[in-house]
Every structure is written in C-alpha cells, then in structure tokens.
Chains A and B, each alone.
Chain A
Amino acid sequence: MPAERLLDDNVLLEELRKGTPDAVEMLFDRFHSKIYSLAMSILKNESDAEEAAQDVFLTVVRKADTFKGNSALYSWIYRICVNTCLMRLRGKRRGETVSIEDFMPVFTEEGMHASLIDDWSKEVERKALDKELGQVIRRFTENLSEKYRVVFVLSDVEGLSNEETAEILGLTVPAVKSRLHRARLYLREQLSRYLREGKAE
C-alpha cells in the first residue's frame, strides 16, 4: 500500500484496526513528537513522559476499534495523552504549585491600578532575551496548577486554537479563554518581578 494513503486519518485508522505494521509505524512517526512534548510539559520529567507516551500509543492501538471518528484523530489522541498524564500526576506527589491569585493584578476600590506598572516590553526587545525568557516562562508555568498549565501548553506551546483546546479538554471556549487570560496575567506579573529584580523568584 502506498505510504501516502496512510496520511488520510480514516485510512490510517482502518489499517490500525487490521494491525498493518506500516500503520502503527505511521501513527508513531506522525504523533510521537507531539505526544512526547505534551507529556513533558505536563509531567516535567523525561522518564515519566516516556512512560506516558508508551501508554498513549498502546491505548490508541487498542482503542482504534472503538474510536467513532466524530472528532479529528489528532484531537482524540491529544485527549488520551492529556488524560494519561493527568492520571499519572494524580498518583504522584506534586511539586509545590504557586497560587495564581498571588500574581493577579491588584486594584483600588475605584478599580484603578494599585501597584506600579512598568513598561518592560521595549527593554526585552533591546536585550534580545527572547530565548532566555522562553526558558524562564517555561519554569514559571511549571509552578502553575494543571488547570492552567494544560490549557497554556495546548494553546501557546502546541499552537492549537481555543476551539481545539476546548474540544480536547472537554471545556467550553469561554472557559479556555478565561484560563488562558489568567495564565498570561500570572506570567506577565512573574516576568515583571523577574525583570525588576534581575532574577527569578
């Protein structure tokens, strides 16, 4: 069978059900980077991510029969990945998470800014810190609870739309937007403090 045919999700699924070895390989080649990076973002540990990725592929192979195809293949696979990772997290002692509330902007009773707001946006450009800041942001997101972290990862790291993220997580689009907004408020504040103090908290 020509390999290009397996690029069609329906053909790929059909061949997976039959157990065609090429299909399993195609499934792996197409999805392993995404599955691994998503698992790494949620689990923050290489060996956990590897084990989670194993589980994800086995689940996909075993459940290919029952997949109804009413959502896209990748979104089904992402959902399996998120669920597998969250299940693993539950079985583990979590590292400390910060309270997102401590990083929300504060306002006076009249609804005016109650803290000093600097503009560091130009400064960041001048210093060309983008790459380093990427690492810093990643570290900050690791302290977020899963509720925010998973939405952030799917949306900003994996580059999915709000609709896609909502479907994978079983959330409404407004819930995704609101979590993303709060995650950004949190990160904006963390970055402000980081740049002000010249070091991470």
Chain B
Amino acid sequence: MNCKELVYLLGDFFEGSMEEHLRQELAVHIERCEPCMNFLKTYDKTRILCRQIQPEEIPEEVRNRLKAFVLQKAREHHRDIEKYLERAARERREQVADILRAYVANRLSMTMNLLFRTHRDRCDRCGAFLKGLNGGKAIPEIPPDIEDHIAEFLEALPPGESPVIG
C-alpha cells in the first residue's frame, strides 16, 4: 500500500468497514510514514470537528411566522377539499334524483333499465322504495343506502353512455 492508496481508504478505515488484510497493511505503512500518520490524524480530527457542527437554529420570530402560515394554509387546503367533497356529494344526489325521475317517466336507457330491473328484484330495500315511487309525482327524500346502490349503477355504465333517454 502506498500513501495514495492509504488516503483513498481512510473513509472505510474510520467507518470500520475495511477488510482485515488492508487494515494490517495500513498499520504497517503508517508506522513507517510520518506524512501518512499526520494525514490520518488530521483527517480524523476533521471528521470529529465536522460532527460537532450544530444545526442552524430557527429564530423565534421566524418559527412563529412559519407556524402561523402553515396552519393557515393547511386549513385553507382542507376547506378546499371539503368544499370539493361537498360539491361532489351534491352532484351525486342530484344525478340519482334525475335517474329516479327518469325511472318513473320510463325514460331510462336500455342498460340502465336492465340494471334497475335486476336490482329491484334482488334488493329488498331498493325494491320497496322503487315500488313506492310508481305513479308518484314528486321524488321523496332518498335514503343514503339507496342512493349508494343507484350511484353504483352509474359506475357500471359504459363510459360515455347516458343513463337517461331524451
């Protein structure tokens, strides 16, 4: 091992990840080479000094300002999300009501009609609700579980297909 190789290996040496035979070669070299001994000691000292560097502390004033900003923006962000979710829920409610009106008026698309009839015979909750609609004029309040079921039909429709005729 020459000086150049020794310097190259110092990182591994101090990490303790050096192979044993290299470690021995290094020990032999360092015994006889003062520059390398000096290099090793100052490299080690540099490492130690580097590790003592303290992270930059955040000034009190910056911390307070930053915290107020983050909390405020997070609130706005979640308010936006809530608004979005509310709008989506409202749109779904309206869509389901539209479909029920079309059901009563016999204006469901073929696929939708099929989905409705199959489901009506299988699901007691929806079946009873839909029977109650027959002949009725106004659509009553739709219970949430029934809304869920009917909204599922919408997802079952091929993309781009309208659930309602006309």
Which residues of chain A have a CB within 8 Å of any CB of chain B?
A: 19, 21, 24-25, 28, 32-34, 36-38, 40-41, 46, 49-50, 53-54, 57-58, 61-62, 105, 107, 110-113, 116-121, 124, 130, 133-134, 137-138, 152, 156-159, 177-178, 180-181, 184-185, 187-188, 191-192
With the chains together, A21 CA to B2 CA distance in Å?
61
Say whether B66 contacts A54, CB under 8 Å: yes
With the chains together, A38 CA to B57 CA distance in Å?
10
Main secondary structure on B side of the interface with A? helix
- Scan B120-157; emit 1 where CB is below 8 A from any A CB, else 0: 00000000000000000000000000000000000000
Say whether A188 contacts B46, CB under 8 Å: yes
CB distance from B154 to the nearest CB of A (A): 24
Neighbouring A residues of B39 by C-beta, 8 Å: 105, 113, 117, 188
Number of A-B contacts (CB under 8 A): 148
Main secondary structure on A side of the interface with B? helix
Neighbouring A residues of B35 by C-beta, 8 Å: 112-113, 116-117
For residue B56, CB closer than 8 A to chain A, the reply is yes
Contact check: which of A19, A185, A191 meets B7 at CB < 8 Å? Answer: A185
Tally of contact residues, B, Cβ under 8 A: 48
Neighbouring B residues of A180 by C-beta, 8 Å: 11
Neighbouring A residues of B74 by C-beta, 8 Å: 19, 21, 24, 57-58, 61
With the chains together, A148 CA to B144 CA distance in Å?
58
Within 8 A of A (CB), among B18-74: 34-39, 41-47, 49-59, 62-63, 65-67, 69-71, 73-74
Neighbouring B residues of A113 by C-beta, 8 Å: 3, 35-36, 39
Contact check: which of B2, B3, B37, B50 meets A187 at CB < 8 Å? Answer: B50
Neighbouring B residues of A49 by C-beta, 8 Å: 56
Q: With contacts A33-B58, A36-B56, A41-B56 known, is A54 near B69, CB below 8 A?
A: yes
With the chains together, A64 CA to B130 CA distance in Å?
41
With the chains together, A132 CA to B38 CA distance in Å?
22
With the chains together, A134 CA to B53 CA distance in Å?
5
Say whether A50 contacts B41, CB under 8 Å: no
Say whether A34 contacts B55, CB under 8 Å: yes
CB distance from B38 to the nearest CB of A (A): 4
For residue B164, CB closer than 8 A to chain A, the reply is no
